[in-house]
Amino acid sequence: MSALSALETALENRWEALWARMSGRDPLELVDALRRECDSNAVVCRAGRVMVPNAYDVELSAPVHEELTRRGDSVGQVLTDRLARHAARNGYEWAGPLTVHVRRSAEVPNGRYRVASTVMRHVSAVGFRRAAQPADG
């Protein structure tokens, strides 16, 4: 019983620490996770040119998502700004327009998060205009 009680206490302390960080001014733990995701997927194309994924998905447990969005801040924009500054400091180039999408997920355990990145192809302005025009016939 003693070991189980100690484990329960440790988990509660971890949850409280995460909650304190997540509900503070900046979601620091999420920013760090995004930075790690960006760094671990960096690809050196040639000397001096490092490409990184440009589309990031952040999945949050319901309570964390609710707490972060309740403040009225655009969490996705805050995370995007922080990630953009990180990339600028490291000389990274995005594979296309940078986006960070934050969503609630029932699959993520309470108090946790999941971060993933992909390369989203850039759509040229010409291709975008063609796609917006109605099709003939």
pTM greater than 0.75 (yes/no): no
The pLDDT score that the predictor gives to residue 110 is 78
In order along its 137 residues, the chain shows pLDDT tens digits of 467 666 666 665 565 555 555 554 456 788 899 999 999 999 998 777 899 999 999 998 888 888 777 766 678 888 899 999 999 999 999 988 898 988 888 888 877 888 999 988 764 444 434 444 555 54
Sequence-ordered list of residues with C-beta below 8 angstroms from that of 124, at least 6 positions apart, any chain: none
